[in-house]
């Protein structure tokens, strides 16, 4: 992983702010997240977290995660923003995915950007890796951080909540 600086940081900041605008459209009742994928300076896919196929009747945000069986590994009811962005890119720009960069942001309850913690979502890390995305970008308290997607996937499996 590496923290960006200078023009690279400014460019990443612009993309993360664009992802934040996308996140405002999320219909998830738990979190508002946005993601976009960039290849060769162009946005090739974007997404926000919402129920599958945007079918709001499939939303289950009000169900407590603890009530699901232990074999239900993804206890969120919504498609993740990263999943949506990858699906969007696959539909519209699949040839551009290899070597691309994915940006992810979450909004705080007041709509401001919430800084990310460590990589932890193995669903999104595996899907990004499988799609050929080269880098994963998060905005940490210390700055904008770029992870090689293989590293991001490894770190996601090593995640331990330090609360």
How far apart CA 97 and CA 134 sit, in angstroms, is 9
How many other CB atoms are there within 10 angstroms of residue 129's CB atom?
A: 18
Q: What is the pLDDT of residue 68?
A: 46
Confidence check: pLDDT of 53 > 90: no
Domains in the chain, CATH or no CATH each: 2-67+75-158 (3.40.140.10)
pTM confidence score: 0.88
Helix (H, G, I), strand (E, B) or coil at 119: coil
Share of the chain above pLDDT 70, in %: 83
How far apart CA 12 and CA 20 sit, in angstroms, is 12
Give the position of tokens 């090689």: 148
Confidence check: pLDDT of 56 > 80: no
Closest CA to 2 of 149, 153, 155, 148: 148
E strands, 9-153, are: 32-39, 42-48, 101-107, 113-114, 135-140, 143-148
pLDDT tens string 64-93: 656 545 655 555 668 899 999 999 999 999
| Mean pLDDT of all residues in 125-143 | 96
How far apart CA 163 and CA 26 sit, in angstroms, is 27
């Amino acid at each position: 992983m590496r923290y960006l600086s200078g023009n690279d940081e400014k460019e990443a900041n612009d993309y993360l702010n664009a992802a934040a605008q996308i996140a405002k459209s999320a219909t998830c009742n738990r979190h508002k997240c946005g993601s976009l994928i960039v290849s060769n300076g162009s946005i090739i896919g974007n997404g926000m977290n919402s129920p599958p196929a945007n079918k709001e009747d499939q939303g289950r945000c009000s169900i407590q995660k603890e009530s699901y069986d232990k074999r239900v590994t993804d206890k969120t009811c919504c498609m993740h923003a990263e999943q949506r962005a990858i699906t969007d890119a696959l539909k519209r720009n699949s040839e551009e995915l290899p070597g691309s960069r994915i940006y992810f942001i979450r909004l705080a309850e007041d709509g401001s950007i919430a800084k990310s913690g460590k990589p932890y979502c193995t669903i999104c890390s595996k899907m990004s890796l499988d799609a050929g995305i080269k880098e994963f970008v998060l905005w940490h308290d210390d700055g904008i951080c770029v992870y090689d997607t293989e590293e991001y996937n490894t770190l996601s499996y090593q995640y331990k909540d330090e609360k």
